[in-house]
Structures are given as C-alpha cells and as structure tokens.
Amino acid sequence: MQIDYVNVFVSDLDQAVDFYQEKLGLVLQSSEPQSGYASFAAGPVRLGLAVADDTQQALIGRHTGIGFSVKNLQQDYERLAALGVTFLMLPTKQSWGGFMAMFNDPDGNHFYLDQIEVMHPLE
C-alpha cells in the first residue's frame, strides 16, 4: 500500500489552480471545473484540489500537514514572497537540524516549505 494523492479543500478552483501552477510551479495534470477538482504532479504523490461543498467549509483554511521540499529554502522563499505568497513563518533553522518556513495558499491553507539537503532518511 502507498499514498497516491492528498486533497486540499479550496473555495475557488480557478484561483487555486492559478496559485499552485503559476506561483508554486506545480504541473497541472487535470482540471475538471464541472466537478470542482484539479490534480497536480507533486513528486511521487499527486496533490488534488477539491472545491468544498456546504458541508466541507470547515476544511478550508487549515493546517494541512503537507510539506513541500526545495533545494534552496532561502531562494525559494524570496521567489515566492516576491510573487505575493503569504508566509506564516520565515525560513528558520529548526531544533531537529533542518530549515523550514510555512506559507498559505489563497484560501489560508497552511503548508510547510523545507530544505531537502538537511532531511535524513529513516535508518
């Protein structure tokens, strides 16, 4: 068994697709506005965007627990900040030895941004 995709709930599919494609640089695999869903290539796991229905509104604007990894955190932070991405936490050295920042998408969903060189594989 393996994780194939994760979904993030959004309020506006067009706005979200634009953010993830144009600002984060993810590759759009499919978009189905009629069903309120889009899918992006995001490494070995796909990232899905799902428009929340009336019963799912509380799932928008939350901490997702999803982390994006980059090779140069400071460089990617500066690029994203210049594009207007809102950061909740600036690039900071963590007690566990890594470097991390946190940002929001247009709906206020929170994501990690980690520098990959400092990641250590499980033994």
Q: What is the pLDDT of residues 46-69, one digit of tens each?
A: 999 999 999 999 999 999 999 999
d(CA 123, CA 8): 30
- Overall average pLDDT of the 38-52 stretch: 96
Q: How large a percentage of the chain has pLDDT more than 70?
A: 94
d(CA 97, CA 76): 19
Across 32-59, b (16+ Cβ under 10 Å) vs e yields eeeebbbbbebeeebbbbbbbeeeeeeb
**Is residue 115 predicted with pLDDT exceeding 70?**
yes
Count of CB atoms situated within 10 Å of the CB of 63? 12
**Is residue 78 predicted with pLDDT exceeding 70?**
yes
Q: Is the dihedral angle over the CA atoms 38, 44, 2, 103 positive or is it negative?
A: negative
pLDDT band for 89, please (50, 70, 90 cuts): very high
Q: Which domains does the chain have, with CATH numbers?
A: 5-118 (3.10.180.10)
Q: pTM for the full model?
A: 0.89
d(CA 99, CA 17): 27
Q: What is the pLDDT of residues 96-112, one digit of tens each?
A: 888 999 999 999 999 99
Residue 102 structure tokens: 């946190």
Q: Taking the mean position of all CA atoms in its chain, how far away is CA 109?
A: 8
